[in-house]
Structure 1
Amino acid sequence: MPRAATTTKRQPKAKSASTSSVPTWADETELVGLVFDLEATVSASLYSHYTIGLHAWFLDQVRQVDPELSAYLHDGESEKPFNISALEGQLLPSGKQLKLVANQVYHWQINALSPKVALFLKQWLTFLPPTMELSGTPLAIKQVNIAHPPTTYAQLLKSSNHQSVVNLSFVSPTSFRRKGHHFPLPVPENLFHSYLRRWNDFSGISVETEAFLKWVDESVIIHQHRLESMKVAAGKQGSVTGFTGAISLGLSKAGLANTEFTQLFYALVRLAPYCGTGHKTTFGLGQTRLEWVEQNSATTAQLLTNMLAERIEELTELFTAQRKRKGGDRTDKIASTWATILARREMGESLQAIADDLQMRPETVKTYVKLARRAIKQQGE
């Protein structure tokens, strides 16, 4: 497989995005990945759940340029045709929050999975704002480069570069939904169902899901894995049990006899870095590389978001049990909302920041904090 499609390289520092040449590609492009070099102009605190802010900033950029596309990205019930990463770079601990370091460069990735989003990115880069604002902190956009080369689904399918063993690394926490619960294991059937859903939604080359997944279950072999599980706060509410690490896969001799599914298998492997793996990829989960990445110890950001996720889960269980005893309606929804708001408040986030992320009035958030604290107090009496 081409090296450019298998790994994201840090690019050398360059002049600002407003004056440097910007990447471009053909209008027919369906898939492309971009990496942004962002420089912190000042040192500032950043809450551990900051990927919500990255998600919101990008969607607001879309709204300003293409309201119709923005509405689809917000409200579309299909798979989302984009995903983002968290920030890569020096994030230092600062109490229960993270610290952006002045003059440090951070790397952030956006991937497009459909022609409309790829075309939007191409046009957007020609008048990109000089800064991104994240939790009130400006980050100068210094440079934008190609992370995953522009391509189409048909080109992914036509490639004849088939390796006997393929490596997939999950460089941000990754999880699936199974029977109403999180499933933090890269079982081949779950992996390729995740990729096939995006393929069927955006490629225009639809595949019968049940037959292919049966072939995956019978044909895909796990040669090696190195995985670690952790809880993370993801999306606007609640927590997710996910995994990071790497896995090596191959095909059985019997599986190779089905040339059509073998070709699709390798196409979906090549799709993985673009689409990510599992759910909540638009909030930074499931970032995937086509190489074996050795797992380092958990970063400060991961440890803090793990602490936040565990607190959200603890509070959700407490509030759910209380409301069920009282016969309350909408038990799970309210318990999750209270837990998310109180846990984030305990981590030092402002009422305004929480309200903005959850699209609620600050007065409502303040009321929920009071109700949640009162419920905890009643539990202790």
Structure 2
Amino acid sequence: MNEHREHFLTTSIRMYSLYQTALSLCSVKRLNELIDALLPHCITAMDVATACLLTREGTIHIMGNKLRDLDEEYLRRQSWQASEGCIHGNLPSYSSYLASPILQETKYLGTLIVVDKEASAFEVEDFKRMTNLATITATALGNVYEYEDLIQKAEGLEEDIKRREELEVQRLRQELEDAKRTQLSLLPRQSPQIEGFDIEGVCLPAQQVGGDFYDYVPLGDDTLAIVLADVSGKGLKSAMYAVLSYGILHAEAKFGILPSQMLWILNEDLQARIRERMNCAMCIATIDLNNRILHYSNAGIPYPIVKRGGGVFELKCNGIPLGMLKSAEYEDVEIELQSGDVVVFLSDGITDCPSKDDPEEQFYGDSQQLFSVIGGFDPNTNAQTMIHSILTDLRDFAGDNDQNDDITIVVVRVR
């Protein structure tokens, strides 16, 4: 009776020990952590001097007190023989070894080996215990391999995403470069040299290229059209829309028609050609160079600012951007230019520039600084210097804020 009770207790303790071992080993996710936990347990549970784990890659991991002259290649050969079941034998310099395959169903994951039993030769109970350890190790090692495979796949996916992101960044950079070249190709190469007038312009593309452009279009011998445009959106698509607007403008601009009529023609043509939700803000001013009469029409551009004598006023004229509404109507404003007058055409990249002090609420166009700068112009100062004065004051107003929109200015100084 006592023998049965002792056997029952021994079996129960062994089963509980195996259960605790299984819980401990199967929670491990890394191979080095599994080896550090598994091999000491094998040495203790099997009462041996040395324990080894041969992985599926053929790497042998050894832990123990007696590692003298251990023939790893011999162990490796024996472990492959153990792929079908538990085997044992003798090693040089060691009394014995016991090897058991680590199998996950029929999939070979490695071999568990113990060497040099301390008390005596390996017995039947040792074979059972070794088989149980190998079974637990199979689950734990399978978990480790599965986790490492997932990590490898995740790292591969991360690398793939990173590579795709780098390619997308390169593509966007190339697109921005193409857009910037396209945009700059629309700008006039030189300013018009006209007696009695000093005319200069500048367009500074933002980091995220938009679609600003300006141009001078001769209409016969004695009329000049000044055009300033701002296409919605950013990048190459915006630049292409600007090219289209530029092309239609040059095709349709004719002597004898008013700026409002040009805008109407442009709007109808863009409405017929464009399917996407894009638009082009534009203003056109024609100057009768002999009579110094300026006609002006506007489709969504900030009002031009006129300095005359000691005063400054806006040339107010309203109209919606081109491409937004079919059959939109545009109006003309007429002004007779006088010697000393300065007319400043500008895009919303200037008026909407945020303040360095309050970038969410305060903008350059809402302050009086632009009027103060233009009002302070000396009529004898050239147009290029006037543009420089506006840009200098704008940069001081914006501080270190990024330039998020194109900045375009055209100055007409009447001598």
Shorter-normalised TM-score: what interval?
A: under 0.3
Please, what TM-score do these two structures have when normalized by structure 2?
A: 0.21
Higher relative contact order (CA 8 A, sep 6+): 1
Q: Highest CA radius of gyration, 1 or 2?
A: 2
